[in-house]
């Protein structure tokens, strides 16, 4: 399977905020087991389009600014699902309605395959996304409710969600590690398998050095083919430390890459902003720093950031990656940092 993703942009305009008059907002009671995604989906709403609006509407009624309370009533953002109004001018608003067009990508799975264009903010940008481990190597392992969980499954799910976000803003995206049948999943416990392959349907080697070199070669070859274009690399891992160590999201970059540092810093700043807004009582302790000792940081050519998302062995951090709502939030926050980096322009030559 040689899966190269790109998106075609369509000529229509989207309102940046939904109409949310308080007297017309629908409310719904949260049942046992409901999360933000499942609650919105039950109401026939695309949860990925209105996630932030839902959080803003219900901020005072959420635990840790992201989890629902069973038995409480929540407001559902009022939006038009399948059509958007087209504004002719500031003085005259047209009632013309256009159908939102999308493009399907099977790699995201049947439920999530359709990508709708939200903007052209990343038009012209190329992103290489790598989820850690895969194939014969599951990465860090832990137990949850008596069941084994593996780093590679959760890193891959977050990477797919990030890819979909970047595509929706007009980017060209290459997913370097791929699973032919997983897609984006809404389960807490993601089943472990070993059928992941590298881009071009390449078998992933068991040997660690050979595995990393394979990824470096694929990325650097693509970097050469896309020479002269705006290119960035994002690598996603889940850390493994002692069970008692609760950590935040960390970002690494090459010590000599100004653009890699800027990318890491942009995503880091976005996380600081989100924590301040959604979790004001909790201090965000994640950092961004150079770590050239990491093989992919040292050997790949595009400006890049290497992301560590929590400690898979820590109970608090497990909630961050096991909850599908949290995985979606992580992907969306990373994508917003990516947009911030792209719109900020270049700092020095592209590494």
Q: Which two tokens stand for residue 129?
A: 């996304």
Model pLDDT, residue 59:
82
Decide: residue 208, CB within 10 A, 0-12 exposed, 13-18 middle, 19+ buried: exposed
Model pLDDT, residue 55:
82
Model pLDDT, residue 225:
98
**Nearest in space to 234 (alpha carbons), one of 122, 119, 117:** 122
The phi, psi pair for 205, rounded to 5°, reads -65, 155
Q: Please, which pLDDT band fits residue 9 given cuts at 50, 70 and 90?
A: very low
Beta bridge partners of 252: 289, 306
Q: Please, which pLDDT band fits residue 242 given cuts at 50, 70 and 90?
A: low
Model pLDDT, residue 277:
82
149 has pLDDT over 80? yes
CB proximity list for 210: less than 8 A, separation 6 or greater: none
Model pLDDT, residue 279:
76
93 has pLDDT over 90? no
What is the pLDDT averaged over residues 16-29? 58
Model pLDDT, residue 7:
36
The phi, psi pair for 32, rounded to 5°, reads -60, 130
Q: How far apart are CA 120 and CA 345, in angstroms?
A: 15
Domains in the chain, please, with CATH?
22-76 (3.10.350), 103-343 (3.40.630.40)
Q: How far apart are CA 133 and CA 212, in angstroms?
A: 9
Contact 94, 87 (CB under 8 A): yes
Q: Please, which pLDDT band fits residue 88 given cuts at 50, 70 and 90?
A: very low
99 has pLDDT over 60? no
């Amino acid at each position: 399977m040689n899966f190269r993703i790109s998106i075609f942009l369509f000529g229509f305009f989207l309102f940046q905020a939904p109409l949310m008059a308080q007297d017309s907002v629908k409310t719904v009671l949260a049942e046992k087991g409901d999360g933000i995604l499942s609650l919105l989906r039950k109401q026939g709403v695309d949860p990925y389009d209105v996630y932030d609006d839902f959080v803003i509407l219900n901020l005072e009624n959420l635990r840790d600014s992201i989890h629902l309370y069973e038995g409480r009533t929540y407001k559902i953002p009022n939006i038009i699902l399948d059509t958007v109004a087209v504004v002719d001018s500031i003085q005259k608003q047209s009632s013309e309605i256009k159908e939102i067009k999308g493009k399907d990508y099977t790699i995201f799975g049947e439920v999530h395959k359709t990508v709708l264009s939200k903007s052209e903010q990343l038009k012209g940008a190329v992103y290489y996304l790598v989820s850690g481990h895969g194939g014969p190597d599951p990465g860090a392992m832990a137990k949850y409710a008596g069941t084994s969980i593996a780093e590679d499954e959760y890193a891959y799910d977050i990477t797919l969600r990030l890819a979909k976000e970047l595509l929706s803003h007009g980017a060209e995206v290459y997913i370097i590690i791929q699973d032919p049948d997983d897609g984006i999943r809404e389960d807490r416990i993601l089943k472990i398998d070993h059928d992941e392959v590298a881009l071009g349907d390449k078998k992933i080697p068991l040997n660690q050095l050979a595995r990393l070199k394979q990824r470096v070669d694929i990325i650097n070859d693509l970097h050469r083919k896309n020479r002269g274009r705006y290119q960035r690399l994002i690598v996603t891992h889940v850390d493994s430390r002692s069970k008692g160590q609760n950590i935040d999201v960390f970002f690494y970059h090459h010590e000599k890459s100004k653009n890699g540092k800027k990318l890491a810093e942009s995503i880091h700043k976005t996380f600081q902003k989100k924590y301040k807004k959604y979790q004001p009582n909790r201090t965000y302790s994640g950092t961004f720093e150079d770590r050239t000792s990491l093989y992919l940081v040292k050997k790949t050519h595009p400006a890049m950031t290497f992301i560590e998302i929590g400690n898979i062995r820590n109970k608090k951090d497990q909630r961050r990656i096991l909850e599908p709502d949290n995985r979606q939030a992580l992907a969306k926050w990373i994508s917003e940092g990516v947009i911030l980096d792209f719109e900020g322009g270049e700092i020095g030559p592209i590494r």
